[in-house]
C-alpha cells in the first residue's frame, strides 16, 4: 500500500509568529487515517516548526548537495538531518525557473538527500507551451530520466514524486482530473518499466497546482493520485484542514 500524503509548501510567506501559529494549527487538525502530513516552511522557521510538530512532519523547501564549505547562503542536506528535518523539496519549478536549477544539479541534490536520510519530494511538470504543443509526456519523462531514474531500486523507493504542471501553479487553473490522471498513470508506468510492478505500485505520486478545498476530493479520487503538494491552500489552516480530512479521501473512493 502506498502512502497518502498532503504536503504544504509555504514558499517565502509568513512572519515567524505567523509560521509558528500556522504550524500549531496544522498540527492539531483532524487528520484522516493513514494520511501523512508534511509542512515545508521557510528555512528560517523550520526548527521552530519542528519543535511544535508532533502529528506532522517538517521539511525544507531547498538544500544544497555539498555537506559543508564555502557555499554562502546555502544549507546542506547534512545540516537538515542534524536539525531533525524529515524531507526536502527538489526540483520545484520556481527553483528551476528563478534559480536556474537544472536536471543535473537536481540529480546531485536527490543523491545527497538520500545519503543523509532526508525524504526527497521530487517535483516535475511541464510549462504551458509544452502542454499546448502536446509533448508533455515526453517532457516529464525526460525530467525523471535525467534526475531520478538512475537511482538503484533501494534508493528510488524512498522518493516521493510530485507532478506539478507549471501552468497550474499559483494560477487558479487546476489540471482536470483527466489531465492529472493521464500524467500520473504515465509516470507510474515509467516507474514500472524501470523498477518493476511492486515498486511502481508503492510509489507515492502527488499532484500539485492550484489544488484547493473545492477540487481536492476529485483529484485525490483519481486512481494514480496519492495526495497533493499544496501551495496557496496550505497557508490557511481552514483550507488545509479540508485536504487532510478523512471525508475528502473517502467519499469518492
Contact positions toward ligand PEP, by CB under 6 A? 9, 164, 169-170, 208-211, 229-233
Distance CA 68, CA 121 (A): 22
- Among this protein's residues, is 164 annotated catalytic? yes
Q: What are phi and psi of 104, to 5 degrees?
A: -70, -45
- Catalytic residue chosen out of the listed positions 92, 94, 116, 126: 92
Rounded to the nearest whole angstrom, what is the least distance from the CB of residue 218 to ligand PEP in the complex?
15
Q: Which is nearer to ligand PEP, 169 or 183 (CB)?
A: 169
DSSP string, 120-153: EEEEE---HHHHHHT-HHHHHHHHHHHHTTTS-H
Residue nearest to ligand PEP (CB): 231
Distance CA 51, CA 56 (A): 11
Q: Which is nearer to ligand PEP, 53 or 206 (CB)?
A: 206
- For 119, other C-beta atoms within 10 Å of its C-beta total 18
Q: Which is nearer to ligand PEP, 86 or 200 (CB)?
A: 86
- Catalytic residue chosen out of the listed positions 36, 126, 164, 181: 164
Q: 191 is written with which cell numbers?
A: 516507474
- Among this protein's residues, is 92 annotated catalytic? yes
Rounded to the nearest whole angstrom, what is the least distance from the CB of residue 232 to ligand PEP in the complex?
4
Q: Which is nearer to ligand PEP, 77 or 169 (CB)?
A: 169
Distance, CA of 141 to chain centre: 17
Rounded to the nearest whole angstrom, what is the least distance from the CB of residue 123 to ligand PEP in the complex?
7
Distance CA 212, CA 228 (A): 9
Catalytically annotated residues: 92, 164
Amino acid at each position: 500500500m502506498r502512502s497518502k500524503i498532503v504536503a504544504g509548501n509555504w514558499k517565502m510567506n509568513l512572519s515567524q509568529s505567523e509560521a509558528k501559529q500556522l504550524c500549531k494549527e496544522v498540527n492539531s487538525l483532524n487528520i484522516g487515517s493513514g494520511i501523512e502530513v508534511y509542512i515545508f516552511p521557510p528555512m528560517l522557521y523550520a526548527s521552530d516548526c519542528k519543535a511544535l510538530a508532533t502529528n506532522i512532519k517538517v521539511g525544507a523547501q531547498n538544500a544544497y548537495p555539498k555537506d559543508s564549505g564555502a557555499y554562502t547562503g546555502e544549507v546542506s542536506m547534512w545540516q537538515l538531518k542534524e536539525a531533525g528535518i524529515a524531507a526536502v523539496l527538489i526540483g520545484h519549478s520556481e527553483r528551476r525557473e528563478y534559480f536556474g536549477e537544472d536536471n543535473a544539479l537536481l540529480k546531485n541534490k536527490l543523491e545527497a538527500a538520500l545519503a543523509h536520510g532526508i525524504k526527497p519530494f521530487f517535483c516535475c511538470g511541464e510549462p504551458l507551451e509544452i502542454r499546448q504543443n502536446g509533448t508533455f509526456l515526453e517532457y516529464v519523462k525526460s525530467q525523471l530520466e535525467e534526475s531520478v531514474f538512475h537511482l538503484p531500486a533501494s534508493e528510488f523507493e524512498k522518493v516521493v514524486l510530485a507532478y506539478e504542471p507549471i501552468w497550474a501553479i499559483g494560477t487558479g487553473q487546476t489540471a482536470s482530473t483527466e489531465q492529472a490522471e493521464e500524467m500520473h498513470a504515465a509516470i507510474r508506468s515509467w516507474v514500472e518499466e524501470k523498477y518493476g510492478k511492486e515498486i511502481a505500485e508503492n510509489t507515492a505520486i502527488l499532484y500539485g497546482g492550484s489544488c484547493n478545498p473545492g477540487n481536492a476530493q476529485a483529484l485525490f479520487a483519481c486512481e494514480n493520485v496519492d495526495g497533493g503538494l499544496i501551495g496557496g491552500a496550505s497557508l490557511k489552516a481552514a483550507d488545509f484542514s479540508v485536504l487532510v480530512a478523512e471525508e475528502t479521501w473517502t467519499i469518492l473512493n
